[in-house]
Amino acid sequence: MTAEKAKSGSDARNLALRVVSALALAPIAIAAAYFGELPFAALSTLASVAVWWEWLNLIHPRNLLTMFVTGTCALLLAAGLAMSEHQQLALYITALGAIAVTVLANKSPAWIAGGVVYAGALLLGSLAVRNDIEAGFMAVIFLFAVVWGADIAGYFVGRTIGGPKLAPSISPGKTWSGAVGGFAASIIAAIGIAYAFGSHEFIRAALLGGLISVVAQIGDLFESKVKRMFDAKDSSGLIPGHGGVMDRIDGFIAAAAALALLDIGHSLVTETPARFIVW
């Protein structure tokens, strides 16, 4: 068997694993969002703890139990506070958790603290989006559609068309064609979700979808950069075909945090609750 055929077979197996994993995980995420704040909060909390664990193993692979427990306690407490509508306190607890693990770390303390912040961004961003009483489910589905659209279209368009690399020093496999394809798919997905939920704000949905797509792709590159800095191919091996939890939701982490911040900014400026894509 030639090296080219071996690579082709490996790529096919990897793609099959990606598809199976996605088909298994996507319904779980959608169901958690559909059934309300509590199931979605449980899933988001579990994902944030997994991300924290993977980040910690990536940066500081030894003697990490105390740091892991400390950061996890901060995330759990922050989740409880956020669900009790004490979002500001949840932010403070996340910050305190980051400071605490910095004190415990004997290697790369700033990076260790960054792991609590990163996991906290996933947790608090996700909860802020879902906890909107009138538009929470719609907003989460909007995020899923935009981020998954960018990821799937980016993968297939990039492999099909190829061309110049997007950021070869960070992620050699990503191309400009894939980034543009993902961007276009996100806009189409955003408009589709607006239509499905009865909104006619298609221009706003397209603009927001495009913005979130760019943020998600930057989030993907950020995680790739971190892995490259610490000589890791994947954040872990928890998800077949995808690597770790962090590998699967890196774009979603950035997108959820960005949408939550946009929502907060909109509320502050207009003094009315945001309605996401129905602004």
Which of 23-37, 183-197, 254-268 shows the lowest per-residue confidence on average (mean pLDDT)?
254-268
Domain ranges (residues) in the chain: 35-131, 134-279
Q: Determine the pLDDT at residue 33.
A: 92
Mean residue pLDDT across the chain: 86
H helix runs in 3-135, sequence order:
3-34, 37-59, 65-83, 87-104, 109-130
- Cα–Cα distance for residue pair 71/57, rounded to 1 Å: 13
108/77: higher pLDDT: 77
Backbone angles phi, psi at 234, to 5 degrees: -130, 160
Please count the other Cβ atoms lying within 10 Å of the Cβ belonging to residue 149: 25
pLDDT digits (tens, 9 = 90+) for 133-160: 678 898 899 999 999 999 989 989 998 9
Q: Determine the pLDDT at residue 270.
A: 60
Q: Determine the pLDDT at residue 60.
A: 77
- Cα–Cα distance for residue pair 79/232, rounded to 1 Å: 29
Which of 201-205, 246-250, 264-268, 273-277 shows the lowest per-residue confidence on average (mean pLDDT)?
273-277
pLDDT digits (tens, 9 = 90+) for 165-207: 999 989 888 999 999 999 999 999 999 999 998 888 899 899 9
**pLDDT score of 27 more than 50:** yes
Mean pLDDT over 250-254 rounds to 94
Confidence class for position 276, pLDDT limits 50, 70, 90: low
Q: Determine the pLDDT at residue 6.
A: 44
pLDDT digits (tens, 9 = 90+) for 42-98: 999 999 999 999 999 998 777 789 999 999 999 999 999 999 989 899 999 999 999
Read off the pTM: 0.89
CA torsion, points 191, 197, 201, 203, in degrees to nearest 10? Answer: -10
